[in-house]
Amino acid sequence: MVKSSSDRRPATLADVAAKAGVSVMTASYAFNRPQRVSAPARAKVEEAAVALGYVGPDPNARSLRRRRTSSLGVVLGEHLSYAFDDPQAAAFLAGIADVCAERSYAMTILPTTGGPEDTRRIRVAAVDGFILWTTVDDDPVLATVQALRLPAVIHGGPRVDGLGLVSIDNRAAAREIGTATFARAEHPAVLAFPLDRRREQQLAPGLTPSTASFPVTRDRLLGFRDAARRTRHPWQSVTVAVCSHNDRAHARAMTERLLSRPDTPDAIAAMGDEQAIGALDAIHAAGLRVPADIAISGWDDSPFAADLGLTTVAQSMRDQGGECARMVMANAPRHVQAAWSLVRRNTTRD
């Protein structure tokens, strides 16, 4: 039998109820709380549903009525695709994903490009709350999320009124690893993440930390400056090499520039393991020994760091992602300091 054209409209719960000879509510319960419905009624509903090709309640209608979507919005800075290339971001997402899987939430990834449409994309996202990957102080997305009045947590920073924050104490951690790296050095240097979204690369002696509008970059610079002070190096004598991108290639290129300067550094504190690995490439190419000629440290304790015996800061992005997700789901965003630890291996002298 050929279906008539009216059959093309997908069946609704009302259709199923009518066909099953029950009220719409009984049909609704049959799908949502099967135990609340008598076995025969449930059977009739199921049969009718199969006959009509009805798969289940429409998600949008349900969300509208229930006033929740069971989906978490995850806002990733700038070029989204980059997030998947960054192992730290990937681990963070994995942590969110674990909690979502466990609690039957979906994860809505919200592409952000840095352009003006970003705020619109955030506004139209059907989600119950937001998790924001670390961004700059003046990211317009922050105000949008704030205005939406949904639970939201930022990872890394900045601090925003009303939004949660999950981060390690970057300044303290940088102070520790910086001290280990700069110990017994003559000419310390820093390999830094971009300062802001302009991502200009530069070599700046004694760079003022507050120049950075990425809080993570800023706090680590502050910590490295503290470390310089503790190891008796005037900050002005510490060259900060700011990379435009957090990857090996850029770090290697900047390190080459550092090494070709008059006061060749004999200690480099990097803000990421990938940067440190790029720096090691340049250092080895220059025929220098680590740590005898030059000490180096990374950040994040990636598998590569362990392979290379790199001194680094360990933190669990995965746990932090999970923590963010739980806070948003519980509608209880708070400020949480995550755990970190210094992992001393053999690329530093201490």
Rule CB under 7 A: which residues touch DNA? 9-10, 12-14, 22-26, 28-29, 31-32, 35-38, 40-41, 57-58, 61-62, 64-67
- Render 46-72 in DSSP notation, one character per residue: HHHHHHHT--S--HHHHHHHHT--SEE
Alpha-carbon distances, residue 284 vs 247, 278, 348 (angstroms): 18, 10, 15
Q: Which is nearer to a second copy, 149 or 289 (CB)?
A: 149
Place of tokens 């719960």: 13
How far apart (Å, rounded) are the C-alpha atoms in residues 296 and 307? 15
Which residue in 177, 154, 200 sits closest to 300, CA to CA? 177
Q: Are 77 and 134 in contact (CB under 8 A)?
A: yes
Q: What are phi and psi of 337, to 5 degrees?
A: -90, 120
Paired with 6 in beta bridges are: none
SS3 183: coil
- Based on the shown chain and the rule CB under 8 A, indicate whether residue 123 belongs to the binding site for a second copy: yes
Q: What residue 101 binds from a second copy, DNA, none (CB within 5 to 8 A, per partner kind)?
A: a second copy
- Based on the shown chain and the rule CB under 8 A, indicate whether residue 106 belongs to the binding site for a second copy: yes
Q: What residue 269 binds from DNA, a second copy, none (CB within 5 to 8 A, per partner kind)?
A: none
Which residue in 181, 190, 179 sits closest to 279, CA to CA? 190
Window 218 to 257, contacts with a second copy (CB under 8 A): none
CB of 330 to DNA, least distance (A): 19
CB of 146 to DNA, least distance (A): 18
Window 28 to 67, contacts with a second copy (CB under 8 A): 53, 55-64
Identity at 4, one-letter amino acid code: S
CB of 14 to DNA, least distance (A): 6
- The DSSP secondary-structure symbol of 116 reads T
Q: What residue 106 binds from a second copy, DNA, none (CB within 5 to 8 A, per partner kind)?
A: a second copy
Q: Which is nearer to a second copy, 41 or 83 (CB)?
A: 83
Task: Give contact residues for a second copy (rule: CB under 8 A).
Answer: 10, 53, 55-64, 69-71, 73, 79-85, 90-91, 93-95, 97-98, 100-101, 104-113, 117, 120-121, 123-126, 144, 147-149, 318
